[in-house]
Amino acid sequence: MGVKVNKVKHFIIEALTTIIIAALITIVLEAFVVDNRIIPTSSMYPTIYAGDMVLVNKFVFRFQTPERGDIIVFEPDENISEDDLIKRVIGLPGETIEVKNRQVYIDGEPIEEPYLNEAPQYDFGPVKVPEGHLFVLGDNRNLSFDSHRWPDPFLEIKSVKGKAFFRYWPLKRMGTL
């Protein structure tokens, strides 16, 4: 009888230890490495739909700066939103951005955007992106509240929280971004 009790105690201790270690690893990962986000709007459609769940790499920008095409999560100015936003990096520091004739131009050259479902139906700029800042747009260009609609169209790089890199829900659209 004593052997059975010891086996049960040993099993319970091992199970609790495993649960505690898993919880600690999860806490550390979420605090420093990866974040889980549920996308609240369709501003990144068709790349990301409202309700999609994505993982965000919070570690990557400790070693590099965002690049054109990166899908980033950031904390906007409080006059724009109290919630974090997700957009695509379009303009980098020192570049001149203009939207005209349904096309985005960087330093006078049109850029290819195969991820768009619909071309922009507005004109904007030209504006020069200041040092330490980015110009960001949602993939759903005509409905996204982004740099082309903000009072100050530039996002401070220090406001970037991470890079969205993987959609895990819904399962039928699971994959890298």
Residues belonging to the active site: 43, 87
Pairing outcome for strands 53-57 and 160-169: antiparallel
E strands of the chain, at which residues? 34-38, 53-57, 71-74, 85-91, 96-100, 103-106, 109-110, 124-128, 133-137, 155-156, 160-169, 175-176
Instruction: Kindly report the backbone phi and psi dihedral angles of residue 156, in degrees, each rounded to the nearest multiple of 5, phi listed first.
Output: -70, 135
**CA distance linking residue 160 with residue 156, whole number of Å:** 8
Please state, as a whole number, how many other Cβ atoms lie within 10 Å of the Cβ of residue 67: 11
Compute how many other C-beta atoms are within 10 angstroms of the C-beta atom of residue 69.
11
The tokens for 91 are 């303009």
